[in-house]
């Protein structure tokens, strides 16, 4: 139970009391320490066999070092961290006038900014002091980072005591941090799609070109129906539609068949066998396909006989069927087990009642199994639609052996981006294609979810 004692200015948490005055003193000490640390060396370097140091203040005001060889401009992030420390000092001085939840939250935010700014500075030292020997961080930067970490920990402790965050939140935080770093921070790279990258000046200083990179993607000497964007969009969407429809239909069929195997041994045997292709690397799958389709030693050409051989890796018309077959074969076990788990969860008494009423096996499947699989079908379909504008790189690149003669039927957005980067060394056009992929993919997912929401609100993702 949380209570507040106005006379002593204490916050009570289930019998434990934290005086506001003590909390203010803690914040005051941390903020003063971080302010004092700015006068200490944050970095060191060697020039003409003499070791020099650079304080945090000098990083903020700017300084010319190494006899004019290196000019350190005002570090914006370190300046922001200083402003946060000053605000933290102000928070300690106003004492109990500020709500403890707000105070703890500001401690966490300011502490994170302080830590991140110093880590970023440490990573940029070599670039800032280019041409100077023995560049490294000094003890002042380490003390500042430690003080920032203590501030963050103290703030989180208070938020935990105030029941703002729970133990479960702390368990989720590492995953959220990874998600932010891996998925959201790289989104800044979208700017590359609107620039002409000049490696001499770097990404940030490269000139802006607006939508020129998208014009390259969408234009060609002929009509738009011959553009790269049309080909890769057509291939990506049509292949994925085939994969989704066949995967769901055949997955339901396999799930029903596995469920009707009475022998537990045979059921486990078939479940394991049908799942094995899912576990095989696409590189191995490419070699298996090559063993069947090779011009000289392939099994198919051997069966066709001499003189009737087909050059599969130069003939486009066969590959839509080959790629769909390979994907369905590889994913069938996974989809089948997903639907099997849903079928197993259906109440057996419903089937018993239908048998009493004289329902055949086909009618049980048609009127009981399939209707009750509707939520699973919708959920699995929505999840796969979420990836409809993405393709399996290994399937479309490794299985056709990157044959140029097959590009019109095997080139998807992912392989196009890869070839732009690795073959053409055109990072701008590759980024434009990725941006186009992300935006259109989001629109498709949002539209499909809205349709599902109109038809069946309970099964919509959002």
- The CATH number for 310's domain is 1.10.3720.10
Which residue would you say has higher pLDDT here, 399 or 198?
399
Instruction: Report the 10 Å Cβ neighbour count for 28.
Output: 16
Instruction: Check pLDDT > 90 for residue 243.
Output: yes
Do residues 95 and 227 both lie within one domain?
A: no
| Residue 66, pLDDT score | 67
Do residues 130 and 272 both lie within one domain?
A: no
Instruction: Check pLDDT > 80 for residue 7.
Output: no
Residue 178 is assigned to a structural domain of this protein: no
User: What is the separation, in whole angstroms, between the first and last Cα of the chain?
Assistant: 36
Counted domains in the chain: 2
- Give the residue numbers spanning the domain of 275: 213-459
- The residue assigned the tokens 């380490």 is 142
- In which band, very low, low, confident or very high, does the pLDDT at 260 lie, cut at 50, 70 and 90? confident
- In which band, very low, low, confident or very high, does the pLDDT at 287 lie, cut at 50, 70 and 90? very high
Q: Distance between CA 31 and CA 350 in Å, rounded?
A: 68
| Residue 19, pLDDT score | 57
- The residue assigned the tokens 């599902």 is 452
- Using the 3D structure, point to which of 128, 144, 165 is the last residue of a domain: 165
Q: In the chain, how many H helices and how many E strands?
A: 20, 8
Entry pTM: 0.69
| Residue 223, pLDDT score | 41
- Both tokens of residue 263? 């022998």
Do residues 124 and 246 both lie within one domain?
A: no
| Residue 241, pLDDT score | 93
pLDDT, one tens digit per residue, over 128-176 is 776 667 777 888 888 988 988 998 888 888 888 888 888 888 788 888 8
CB 319 within 8 A of CB 406: yes
| Residue 95, pLDDT score | 62
Residue 57 is assigned to a structural domain of this protein: yes
- In which band, very low, low, confident or very high, does the pLDDT at 293 lie, cut at 50, 70 and 90? very high
Residue 400 is assigned to a structural domain of this protein: yes
Angle formed at CA 397 by CA 394 and CA 403, multiple of 5 degrees: 155
- Using the 3D structure, point to which of 165, 180, 203 is the last residue of a domain: 165
pLDDT, one tens digit per residue, over 48-101 is 777 888 888 888 887 777 666 667 777 888 888 888 888 888 887 776 667 778
Do residues 159 and 219 both lie within one domain?
A: no
Q: Distance between CA 327 and CA 84 in Å, rounded?
A: 54
Q: Distance between CA 241 and CA 262 in Å, rounded?
A: 34
| Residue 290, pLDDT score | 94
- In which band, very low, low, confident or very high, does the pLDDT at 20 lie, cut at 50, 70 and 90? low
- Using the 3D structure, point to which of 165, 197, 232 is the last residue of a domain: 165
Do residues 102 and 7 both lie within one domain?
A: yes
| Residue 319, pLDDT score | 94
Instruction: Check pLDDT > 60 for residue 268.
Output: yes
Residue 202 is assigned to a structural domain of this protein: no
Residue 407 is assigned to a structural domain of this protein: yes
- In which band, very low, low, confident or very high, does the pLDDT at 253 lie, cut at 50, 70 and 90? very high
| Residue 4, pLDDT score | 45
- In which band, very low, low, confident or very high, does the pLDDT at 14 lie, cut at 50, 70 and 90? very low
- In which band, very low, low, confident or very high, does the pLDDT at 289 lie, cut at 50, 70 and 90? very high
- Both tokens of residue 34? 């971080």
Q: Distance between CA 185 and CA 173 in Å, rounded?
A: 16
Residue 76 is assigned to a structural domain of this protein: yes
Do residues 299 and 234 both lie within one domain?
A: yes
| Residue 226, pLDDT score | 58
Do residues 308 and 404 both lie within one domain?
A: yes
| Residue 412, pLDDT score | 92
pLDDT, one tens digit per residue, over 359-378 is 888 889 989 999 999 888 88
Do residues 71 and 146 both lie within one domain?
A: yes
Which residue would you say has higher pLDDT here, 245 or 14?
245
Do residues 13 and 161 both lie within one domain?
A: yes
The secondary structure of residue 207, as a DSSP letter, is P
Residues above pLDDT 70, as percent of the chain: 90
Among left, alpha and beta (phi > 0; psi -120 to 50; other), residue 425 is: left
CATH of the domain at 37: 1.20.140
Of all helices (H) and strands (E), which one includes residue 19? Answer: strand 16-19
Residue 232 is assigned to a structural domain of this protein: yes
Residues with Cβ within 8 Å of 323's Cβ and at least 6 positions away in sequence, in order, are: 239, 395, 396, 399, 400, 410
Do residues 145 and 270 both lie within one domain?
A: no
Length of the chain: 462
| Residue 171, pLDDT score | 84
**119-131 as b/e, with b when 16 or more CB fall inside 10 Å?**
eebbeebeebbee
Angle formed at CA 25 by CA 110 and CA 61, multiple of 5 degrees: 45
Q: What is the mean pLDDT of the chain?
A: 83
Residue 452 to residues 42, 440, 456: CA-CA distances in angstroms? 57, 18, 6
| Residue 284, pLDDT score | 93
CB 71 within 8 A of CB 49: no
Residue 193 is assigned to a structural domain of this protein: no
Do residues 22 and 111 both lie within one domain?
A: yes
Contacts of residues 414-419 at CB distance under 8 Å and 24 or more positions apart, as own/partner, are 414/236, 414/390, 415/232, 415/391, 416/228, 416/232, 418/393
Do residues 359 and 445 both lie within one domain?
A: yes
């Amino acid at each position: 139970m949380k209570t507040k004692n106005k006379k002593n200015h204490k916050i009570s948490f289930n019998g434990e009391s934290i005086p506001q005055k003590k909390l203010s003193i803690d914040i005051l000490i941390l903020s003063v320490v971080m302010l004092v640390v700015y006068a200490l060396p944050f970095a060191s370097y060697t020039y003409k066999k003499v070791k020099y140091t650079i304080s945090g203040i000098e990083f903020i005001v700017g300084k010319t070092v190494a006899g004019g060889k290196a000019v350190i401009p005002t570090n914006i992030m370190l300046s922001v961290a200083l402003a946060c420390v000053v605000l933290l000092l102000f928070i300690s001085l106003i004492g109990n006038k500020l709500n403890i939840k707000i105070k703890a939250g500001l401690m966490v935010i300011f502490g994170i900014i302080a830590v991140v700014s110093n880590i970023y500075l440490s990573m940029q030292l070599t670039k800032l002091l280019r041409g100077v020997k023995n560049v490294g961080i000094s003890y002042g930067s380490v003390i500042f980072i430690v003080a920032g970490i203590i501030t963050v920990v103290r703030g989180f402790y208070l938020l935990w005591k105030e029941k703002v965050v729970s133990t479960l939140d702390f368990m989720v935080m590492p995953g959220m941090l990874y998600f932010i770093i891996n998925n959201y921070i790289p989104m800044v790279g979208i700017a590359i799609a609107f620039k002409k990258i000049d490696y001499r000046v770097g990404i940030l200083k490269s000139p802006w070109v607006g939508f020129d990179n998208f014009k390259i993607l969408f234009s060609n000497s002929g009509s738009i129906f011959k553009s790269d964007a049309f080909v890769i969009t057509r291939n990506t969407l049509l292949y994925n539609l085939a994969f989704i429809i066949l995967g769901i239909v055949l997955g339901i069929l396999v799930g029903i068949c596995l469920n009707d195997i009475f022998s537990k041994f045979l059921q486990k045997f078939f479940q394991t066998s049908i799942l094995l292709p899912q576990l095989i690397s696409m590189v191995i799958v490419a070699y298996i396909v090559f063993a069947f389709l090779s011009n000289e030693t392939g099994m198919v050409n051997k069966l066709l006989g001499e003189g009737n051989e087909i050059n599969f890796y130069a003939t486009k018309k066969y590959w839509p069927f080959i790629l769909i077959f390979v994907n369905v074969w590889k994913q069938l076990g996974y989809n089948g087990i997903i639907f099997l788990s849903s079928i197993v969860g259906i109440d057996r008494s419903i089937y018993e009642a239908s048998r009493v009423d004289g329902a055949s096996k086909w009618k049980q499947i048609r009127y009981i199994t399939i209707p009750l699989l509707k939520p699973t079908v919708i959920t699995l379909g929505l999840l796969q639609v979420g990836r409809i504008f993405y393709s399996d790189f290994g399937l479309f690149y490794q299985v056709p052996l990157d044959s140029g003669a097959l590009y019109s039927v095997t080139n998807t957005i992912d392989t196009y981006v890869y070839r732009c980067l690795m073959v053409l060394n055109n990072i701008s056009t590759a980024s434009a294609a990725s941006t186009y992929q992300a935006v259109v993919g989001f629109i498709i997912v949002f539209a499909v979810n809205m349709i599902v929401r109109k038809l069946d609100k309970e099964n919509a993702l959002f």
